Amino acid sequence: MSLDTAMSKPHEQLAATLSDDLTRVNAMIRARMASEHAPRIPEVTAHLIEAGGKRLRPMLTLASARMCGYDGPYHIHLAATVEFIHTATLLHDDVVDDSRQRRGRPTANLLWDNSSSVLVGDYLFARSFQLMVETGSLRVLDILANAAATIAEGEVLQLTAARDIATTEDIYLRVVRGKTAALFAAATRVGGVIAGVDEQVEQALFDYGDALGIAFQIVDDLLDYGGTDAIGKNIGDDFREGKLTLPVIRAIAAADDEERAFWVRTIGKGRVEEGDLDHALALMSRHGALASARATALDWSERAKAALGHCTEGPLRSMLHDLADYVVARVA
């Protein structure tokens, strides 16, 4: 049974609970992605931002701020900030990966060109810092500037680790923290920071976002080898691109000589033939690599939930708790 039908989706519960805030975030996003003189900017941004993303990251900021009792105006700016940073990285990632599809639609680099994706991403990144400045909080700027550096570093690391079958789980974790968890953790943390929480709660919010992001990305990497919720995903992309994700790293660690030669040829050298993806799946199954990666995702999900123990009880905390279950339920 799919868990999608077994329980109401926590991100939909969050969206319902935060609907007034989300309306304001969407209005701010639309206002700030405008450009009087360069209409290409809102065109490209709208294509991506209005393609039905779940607004997961801005919701994390809103939920965190509200859970911590914030009642000022700036969680809206920060939620829009986080969505802009996310959108900018998606635009750049699609150039880096030469992607043709995102969220079930053609990518901006395909519809327009790589140049537009690079420059509009830069624009959104600059806009995100303008929004942060408006909050008047140097702490928030510090946290999000650090997150932005970690994101870019993780992406470069992923680029240089591609096709390197010596990639370790440590490197994988660093890549995952960069490409996903850094923004999740900053999103939840800044919500607490503008609410004025103490150090322990701030750390708990960081830990929650960090663990949630890692769980989320491991699941995403598992779904690239098939799964129940693969809408908009192209199965086998990571395999063809030679990305060293957790199940592959574990299958390689357990490989005999013949299997190792297979990984060297496919992941290492990119010489992928008909039937190789199925064979890769069979090898991962044989060594329990998919199941063990799933267990690792579940473990991070548990850590995310445990971190919430330091936060104020209430419906928002329950939804964040359920969200940590939900992101791994996609492969449970």
Please give the residue ranges that form the binding site for its own copies (CB under 8 A).
35, 37-41, 89, 92, 95-96, 114-116, 118-123, 125-127, 129-130, 132-133, 136, 138, 141-142, 145-146, 148-149, 151-153, 155-157, 159-160, 171, 174
Least gap, CB of 152 to its own copies (angstroms)? 4
User: Which residue, 21 or 93, has its beta carbon nearer to its own copies?
Assistant: 93
User: Which residue, 51 or 118, has its beta carbon nearer to its own copies?
Assistant: 118
Least gap, CB of 113 to its own copies (angstroms)? 8
Element (H, E) at 101: strand 101-102
Least gap, CB of 164 to its own copies (angstroms)? 12
User: Which residue, 57 or 287, has its beta carbon nearer to its own copies?
Assistant: 57
User: Which residue, 63 or 157, has its beta carbon nearer to its own copies?
Assistant: 157
User: Which residue, 10 or 178, has its beta carbon nearer to its own copies?
Assistant: 178
Least gap, CB of 135 to its own copies (angstroms)? 10
DSSP string, 26-81: HHHHHHHT--SS-THHHHHHHHHHTS----HHHHHHHHHHHHTT--SSHHHHHHHH
Tell me the C-alpha distance between 206 and 7, whole Å: 27
Tell me the C-alpha distance between 183 and 147, whole Å: 6
Least gap, CB of 12 to its own copies (angstroms)? 32
Q: Residue 171: how many CB atoms within 10 A of its CB?
A: 17
User: Which residue, 28 or 41, has its beta carbon nearer to its own copies?
Assistant: 41
Least gap, CB of 120 to its own copies (angstroms)? 6
User: Which residue, 173 or 307, has its beta carbon nearer to its own copies?
Assistant: 173
Least gap, CB of 325 to its own copies (angstroms)? 31
Question: What tokens were used for 243?
Answer: 């990305």
User: Which residue, 153 or 299, has its beta carbon nearer to its own copies?
Assistant: 153
User: Which residue, 151 or 215, has its beta carbon nearer to its own copies?
Assistant: 151
Residue indicated by tokens 């007034």: 20
Least gap, CB of 215 to its own copies (angstroms)? 22
Question: What tokens were used for 115?
Answer: 């140049």
Least gap, CB of 110 to its own copies (angstroms)? 15
